[in-house]
């Protein structure tokens, strides 16, 4: 069911159901440690060096950047939380398989953290916090569980046109599938309204706050990989007959032609917004 977050002034209402991120627990992407994207490295770089105590990764998925935070901060305990239980199970298996003893994972909603107040020494998030669940409530929840003066660092999508891979894929798929099968790009764009997230953070008690845009290049190895990921387009792709899927792939290749290199690979320019500071 779609969640309505319009009760907080300025926060838009979600018009469609959130993506079923559990789909990401299947396939080869769940059998190896997740890659550390440049944007995730930027999140970690905005934390103090050698953090100790409890580092909370909000919306951790398969464990990025939680595993990298655990590697960089061996004296810390990293707790990754996500409401997608199958992703948490997969992250636990990866932690055990790679003997990462200071990373733990729990099923938890960002807007209902089952943690004591002032129990976390730092918090990170890579494209989950400030985007998933009830954003106004989750900001207050983070403020509740962070210790006074504790740092946080997160990445969130800004205008979705800067997420070129997703925006181009949505442009193609929306010509072939019902809107309710696609990510709610309009909602995410409204969340990126200049100053909205900063206002929510300040109202929740984050007095030290910094933000800036971050850009990087995203490599995609082949045309088939353009639409191979199970999320967030899994439901849309599942609804297509084989002939329709081939048409979508062809249209997506045309839509992404400007990003294609001579060897057939793609490089998408990407940009997001970083937020960091302390409570």
pLDDT digits (tens, 9 = 90+) for 73-120: 999 999 999 999 999 999 999 999 999 999 999 999 999 999 999 999
Q: What is the pTM of this model?
A: 0.93
Q: pLDDT > 90: what percent of the chain?
A: 81
pLDDT at 1 over 80: no
257 neighbors 266 (Cβ within 8 angstroms): no
107 occurs within a structural domain: yes
Give helix 135-145 / helix 196-203 axis angle, nearest 10°: 40
Please list, in sequence order, all residues whose beta carbon lies within 8 angstroms of the beta carbon of residue 92, skipping any fewer than 6 positions away. 105
> From the CA atom positions of the chain, what is the Rg in Å?
19
How far apart CA 204 and CA 50 sit, in angstroms, is 26
- pLDDT class for 23, splitting at 50, 70, 90? confident
Identify the residue with better confidence: 9 or 4. Answer: 9
| Counted domains in the chain | 1
Residue 11: inside a domain, yes or no?
no
Residues 6+ apart with CB under 8 A from 221: 265, 266
pLDDT digits (tens, 9 = 90+) for 108-154: 999 999 999 999 999 999 999 999 999 999 999 999 999 999 999 99
Distance CA 124, CA 122 (A): 7
Residue 232 lies in a domain: no
- pLDDT reported for residue 230: 67
Question: How far is the C-alpha of 170 from the C-alpha of 149, rounded, in Å?
Answer: 40
CATH of the domain at 25: 3.40.50.150
For residue 163, being part of any structural domain is answered with no
- Quick check: is 58 in a domain? yes
Instruction: Say whether pLDDT at 4 is over 50.
Output: no
Q: If you average pLDDT over residues 43-68, what whole number do you get?
A: 93
Instruction: Report if residue 82 sits inside a domain.
Output: yes
Please classify residue 38 by burial: count the beta carbons closer than 10 Å to its beta carbon, then call 0-12 exposed, 13-18 middle and 19+ buried.
Answer: middle
What is the chain's mean pLDDT, rounded?
92
Confidence of residue 30 (pLDDT cuts 50, 70, 90): confident
Residue 259 lies in a domain: no
CA distance 20 to 232: 7
Question: What pLDDT, on the 0 to 100 scale, is given for residue 8?
Answer: 60
166 within domain boundaries = no
What is the bridge-based pairing of β-strands 266-278 and 208-220? antiparallel
Three-state secondary structure along the chain? Answer: CCCCCCCCCCCCCCCCCCCCHHHHHCCHHHCCCCCCCHHHHHHHHCCCCCCCEEEEEECCCCCCCHHHHHHHCCCEEEEEEECCHHHHHHHHHHHHHCCCCCEEEEECECCECCCCCCCECEEEEECCCCCCCCHHHHHHHHHHHECCCCEEEEEECCCHHHEHHHHHHHHHHCCCCCHHHCCCHHHHHHHCCCCHHHHHHHHCCCCEEEEEEEEEEEEECCCHHHHCCCCCCHHHHHCCCHHHHHHHHHHHHHHCHHHECCCCCEEEEEEEEEEEEEC
Give the structural domain span for 111: 21-158+184-216+272-278
């Amino acid at each position: 069911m779609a969640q309505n977050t319009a009760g907080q002034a300025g926060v838009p209402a979600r018009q469609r159901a959130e993506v079923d991120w559990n789909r990401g627990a299947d396939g080869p992407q769940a059998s190896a440690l997740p890659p550390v994207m440049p944007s995730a490295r930027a999140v970690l770089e905005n934390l103090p060096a050698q953090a100790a105590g409890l580092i909370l990764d909000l919306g951790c998925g398969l464990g990025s950047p939680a595993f990298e935070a655990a590697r960089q901060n061996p004296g810390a305990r990293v707790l990754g939380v996500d409401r997608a239980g199958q992703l948490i199970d997969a992250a636990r298996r990866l932690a055990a398989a790679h003997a990462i003893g200071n990373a733990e994972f729990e099923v938890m909603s960002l807007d209902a953290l089952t943690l004591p107040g002032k129990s976390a020494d730092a918090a990170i998030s890579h494209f989950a916090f400030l985007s998933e669940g009830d954003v106004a409530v989750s900001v207050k929840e983070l403020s509740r569980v962070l210790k006074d003066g504790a740092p946080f660092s997160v990445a969130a999508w800004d205008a979705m046109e800067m997420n070129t891979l997703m925006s181009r894929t949505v442009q193609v798929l929306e010509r072939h599938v019902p809107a309710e099968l696609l990510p709610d790009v309009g909602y995410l764009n409204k969340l990126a309204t200049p100053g909205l997230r900063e206002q929510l953070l300040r109202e929740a008690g984050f007095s030290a706050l910094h933000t800036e845009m971050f850009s990087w290049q995203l490599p995609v190895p082949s045309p088939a990989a353009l639409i191979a990921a199970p999320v967030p387009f899994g439901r849309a792709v599942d609804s297509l007959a084989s002939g329709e899927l081939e048409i979508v792939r062809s249209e997506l290749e045309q839509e992404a032609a400007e990003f294609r290199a001579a060897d057939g690979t793609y490089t998408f320019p990407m940009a997001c917004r970083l937020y960091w500071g302390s409570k």
